[in-house]
Amino acid sequence: MRHFLMIGSLLLSAVLMSAANCTVPTGPGVEGEGEGPGECTVGTVTMPKPDEAPVREDAAALNLGCIGNPTVLAQSEAVTVEGCVEIFGLGGRAKRGIEVSLFSDTQNPRVDAPLFGKVSISVIADASDPNNPLACDAEDANTPACRSLDCSKEGFYRMENIPVHVPLTMKVSKPNDDTIIDTYTFGIIFDYGDALAADGVVSYEANLIYRSTYDSSPTLAGRIVDGQQEIGDGVGRGVIAGEIHDCDDKIVQGASVTSDQEDATTKITYFNGDTEDPEPQLARQSTNTDGLYVVLNATTDAGKEVHTISAGILDPACTTLTSAPADCQCVSLSSRSIEVYPDSVSIVTLRGDLPVVQ
């Protein structure tokens, strides 16, 4: 979750300023040939060709070993998952009534009952409720209400008996409140990568977006998300955002991203790599040092709501041998299918193939 706190401001900047070009892909793939002066084909997916060699955040060699050869994990005990609520971009503190839900990877988190439960967050006011005051400096210190005191957005959640080593989807929402945008994070695997367990507990931030960020898109420049004028009516398009990593979970610069549902009104945008002042870098055709991408105005129509997000890079074996990376072929870095819903944000970080359980 290292950079997801930036995604809200990046979404805001992208909607205000982006003008990324797009191509129409035809589906996911594993490896492929260069095709045309500005295109890269990975299997059957066509995307803008990266204009630079891929670089890992720590400058080490990229690890692509899990692609086509997923990491095998052992069965493990369920854990407690807990963490602060974090709000992307504009917005103040977390609101009472915000819910965190966890779904299996095969469920539809927009309409299905969450297989692994749902909880309402605790907020600072809960710790000082005159009808039930808590001793946050003593025996009640570990209660969710008291833990919210240490959260920057003053909200905290805790969920028990959550499985590990299998992909889950987290939904953060507030029913009947159109100031909260439903936010879905796909492909979460607890006790793996950046969500490791310690003494049976995984710390994981529950991320969401307020409408103030989602609506900050003028008609001049950028891409208004279709249907955003009426939040919660089930009509319109959505947004996809995330990062690109290698199999060691290290951020990758120089990865090009596409969706198999991309069309002429979709925009894919990358950024300037400045974590202190993030802005879209309109000339980029691949991720910067932050590894971030945003897909604006993503389709949600029936039959087109499942997006396969694919990332490709110039072949590292080629780019290390030539001073003209543009002459190199492309290989897959990752591919994953997620769902996109009207008036919502879907977050997916590609980290190679998902691990499998023995």
In which element (H, E) is residue 11 found? helix 4-17
Q: What is the pLDDT of residues 92-110, one digit of tens each?
A: 789 999 999 999 999 999 9
Check residue 27 and give its pLDDT.
36
Check residue 156 and give its pLDDT.
98
- Exposed e or buried b for every residue in 305-341, given b needs 16+ CB within 10 A? bebbbbbbbbbbebbeeeeebeebbbbbbbbbebbbb
Work out the percent of the chain whose per-residue pLDDT is above 70.
Answer: 82
What's the pTM value of the predicted model, to 2 decimals? Answer: 0.88
And the tokens for 267?
């925009």
Confidence of residue 113 (pLDDT cuts 50, 70, 90): very high
Range from 41-45, 161-165, 201-205, 263-267 carrying the lowest mean pLDDT: 41-45
Is the confidence at residue 213, as pLDDT, over 50? yes
Q: Nearest Cα to 197, choosing from 172, 163, 156?
A: 163
Confidence of residue 20 (pLDDT cuts 50, 70, 90): very low
Check residue 290 and give its pLDDT.
93
And the tokens for 99?
């819910």
d(CA 140, CA 134): 6
